[in-house]
A and B are shown apart, each in its own frame.
Chain A
Amino acid sequence: MKHQTFFWFVLPSVLVMLLFIAFPIVSVVLQSLHAEHEQVIVVVENCGPFGCTQSAKIDTEATEALRAAKPLGRWVGPNTYFDRGHLALNEVVAEWQSADTLGKFFSRLINLPFYKAMFFTLTYTFIVTPLTLLFGFSIAVAVNSASKLLRGPLIFFTLLPMIVTPLVGSLILFWMIDARGIIGAMLQWAADNPNLSVKASTPLMWIMLMVYGVWHSAPFAFIVYYAGLQTVNKEILEAAVVDGASRWERIRYVVLPHLLPLTTFIALIQLMDNFRVFEPIVSFSAAAHATSLSWAIYNDLGGETRQLSSAAATSVLTIIGISILLSPVLVRTWRDFSRK
């Protein structure tokens, strides 16, 4: 394609990407480097149904004047990134110096909100992503070998977890694992412990969140793999049969290599999705046991006093985290591309 044709061809998408992807990111970065103006506090008399009190109040007019002069707020540079709510540089150094063992340092580290969120997010990502691939592939192989008549309904039912809205899907599971729900009661019976509660135990809650994660995203892996299975060369498979290859050997030496690019694709999407785990934490009311970076952003914006700069800093850290996570896959894809 000529350069000029190419330019006009991609211009609309480039414009859309600038408008909806690049500009918002620039705005978030800018926001994270600013903090709110120093508050002008005045003491005034507040009266209400329960009497009058002297109370502090923000001087709205003075604040408005400050904001009119500098709408973005106070320039603080990267300070927000290093404060206790985020990378917590000072606290980490202090813990490192005071902790005598690595284990102690680690347990102190995950007491800090950012590292606590990272610990769960990374565990979740690295457990859920491979399991999703495994389950998706197994289901695809199973469905592919079912009789033609059954396949349609099977595919529909397998896709259901992905069709159900994440919030609703996780709420359903949340009720099922309640101490009086079907799964919760069964677990109590199986463990012979009437006080067993999934919602009260941190390890069980983590397992439940991950079970939900796999349940929700396995259908995506399944449908991609299933489509891929239709493109496997039948002749090679038949040749393998003639050569005496077992079913497992056919999958191992013919199907899997053929589906490798698809595996890369699914892994890429799933790593991104799982790193942003959010809905199950909210619907499971799991914030006491597990937090993620996305949850931290939501929490900053959801309080009675919104913390925009803190949320912006966490957003930028999320983008950086995803980039680091995806870099091996991206580098690999780039190498494959250049080799051709």
Chain B
Amino acid sequence: MNMWKTAALVTAFASLHGTTALAGCGLTEGSISIVGNEFPAIQTVAKGAEACAGDGVKVTANLTADHQKINLAGMQGNPAEYTSAIIANSSIVSLINEGVIRPLDDLIAAHGADIPSKQLVTVDGKVMAVAFMANAQHLVYRKDILAQIGVEPPKTYEELLAAAAMIREKGIMQNPVGGAYAAGWNLAEEFVNMYLGEGGEFFGAGTAEVSINNGKGVAALNVMKSLTEFMNPDYLTHDSNATNAEWEAGNVALMSMWGSRAGVLMDAEGSDPVVYENTAVGGPLTVGGGTTPASTLWWDGWTVAKNISDADATATFVALKNGISSSILNDETMSQAVWMIEGYKPAPVNAGVFAAIEMGTPPYPMLPYIGLLHTALGDNLADFLQGKESAEQALADTEAAYTAAAKEKGFLN
């Protein structure tokens, strides 16, 4: 008896969803499973894709900060667990290296002819991902605090350090600088930014031979160390989320932060009016007299797994295309990111990323072996910042760790 009731209920719900699905994306079958990072813009995209769920169409999303630890393993099976990974220009590399994502050219021809070509990420002429937002780290500052010390928003790290010293001297804040310096991926990313800002090159031209133990590497590390002297002493445990919490608590006045995470600092949630009303963004900072910003440009985009049925691939493509269509833009989502979507109007919070694009910030390199260097940097730089060893030694350790890993992975002999 009960079984019949349940069956009737399921049918009722299914037909309910069915109507929205038809209205939304016109899909009739398919199973869509998304894995991706967790921040507001990606949640919005996943929600847009989930709107296609309904009669015969199942959409699930697993959004987590640990996405890059699971996306590759989740796409290597046949059939793959995840039909799509939402990735950025760094994390797409390992998916391409292992050949787990499919070229999208035929799907674009059939279902996505209207996607603007600037959103298509091509590798060797084949479209491998569809980008939907741009991201970069840039200055975030407190207007009121800078006004108190009578200083313009800094344009270079040297100016930022001078302002930080004044804030501390006047007793306004003890540790006025923030930064996602958690040992591991975040710390490595900060070095990548600073090193590029100093004009450094990571690898010998055209090879996988690393070369960071040079004057520019040392200069980059020294600037980072000067910054940490104005940070909460726990900085080596602070990732972007913890750094933002410090900001919202009103303990920080200056920091370089991701554009995608600046929106939450300026909304009324989680902090006092004096903090969120005075939070403003600026362009990325330069360092050491250089003209290239000490930051990297990032895009976030989605991919489609190779090891899935063509029906699921089509459904995934259509659902995610819906997830990045103009329909997802509303008052709440508009300022979450620098969207590459038609109908997007920049909000003040997005000015930082636009400035980064205008100033010619270099994109994070899409090299097959950069991930190994990133890991090695994340493991070895903390010793220098803690004063346990010299900058040269930390860089030498990084190079040695990278070389051992690159030999094992077959990039070096």
Contact = CB atoms under 8 A, between A and B. Distances in A.
Interface of A: 35-39, 41-50, 53, 55-58, 60, 63-64, 74, 80, 83-85, 91, 111, 113, 178-179, 194-195, 197, 199-200, 202, 284-289, 299, 301-307, 309-310
A288 B121 contact: no
Interface residues of B, number: 67
Nearest to B405: A307
A84 B183 contact: no
Interface in B308-355: 340
Contacts of A304: 68, 90-91, 93-94, 371, 374-375
Nearest to A313: B408
Given A48-B131, A64-B99, A285-B183, A305 B236 contact: no
B184 A287 contact: yes
A302 B374 CA distance: 12
A302 B121 CA distance: 25
A305 B94 contact: yes
Interface in B246-302: 297, 299
Contacts of A284: 237
A53 B184 CA distance: 28
Contacts of B182: 285
Interface string B203-220: 000101000000000000
Given A36-B408, A58-B97, A285-B182, A49 B131 contact: yes
A310 B410 contact: no
A85 B206 contact: no
10 contacts: A35-B409, A43-B206, A47-B122, A48-B89, A48-B363, A199-B234, A288-B183, A288-B383, A304-B68, A304-B93
A302 to B, nearest CB: 5
B24 interface: no
Given A179-B234, A305-B375, A50 B407 contact: no
B407 to A, nearest CB: 7
Given A49-B121, A83-B408, A305-B409, 6 more contacts: A35-B408, A48-B299, A57-B96, A178-B234, A307-B405, A307-B409
Contacts of B69: 301-302
A39 B410 CA distance: 5
B409 A287 contact: no
Interface in B63-113: 66, 68-69, 72, 89-91, 93-94, 96-97, 99
A82 B384 CA distance: 26
Contacts of A200: 233-236, 386
B411 interface: yes
Contacts of A287: 183-184, 379, 382
Interface stretch (B14-22, B42-50, B156-164, B396-404): B396-404
B372 interface: yes
B413 interface: yes
Contacts of B234: 178-179, 197, 199-200
Contacts of B375: 299, 303-305
Given A200-B236, A305-B94, A305-B375, A55 B366 contact: yes
Contacts of B191: none
B35 interface: no
Contact of A84 (B93, B120, B121, B401): B401
Interface string B178-194: 00001110000000000
Given A48-B363, A178-B234, A287-B184, A36 B409 contact: yes
Contacts of B208: 41, 56
A45 B124 contact: yes
A49 B363 CA distance: 10
B170 interface: no
A41 B363 CA distance: 21
Contacts of A299: 375, 379
A109 to B, nearest CB: 13
A56 B368 contact: yes
Nearest to A85: B404
B365 interface: yes
Contacts of B167: none
B206 A303 contact: no
Nearest to A201: B233
Contacts of B372: 303, 305, 307
A26 B106 CA distance: 43
Contact of A57 (B123, B357, B371, B404): B123
Residue from A50, A80, A91 with most neighbouring chain B CB atoms (10 Å)? A50
B108 to A, nearest CB: 14
Nearest to A76: B408
A49 B408 contact: no
Nearest to A298: B69
B389 interface: yes
A46 B96 CA distance: 12
A302 B340 CA distance: 30
A190 to B, nearest CB: 17
A129 B407 CA distance: 38
B368 A50 contact: no
B232 interface: yes
Interface string B1-31: 0000000000000000000000000000000
A289 B235 CA distance: 13
B237 A83 contact: no
Given A36-B408, A49-B119, A179-B232, A41 B340 contact: no
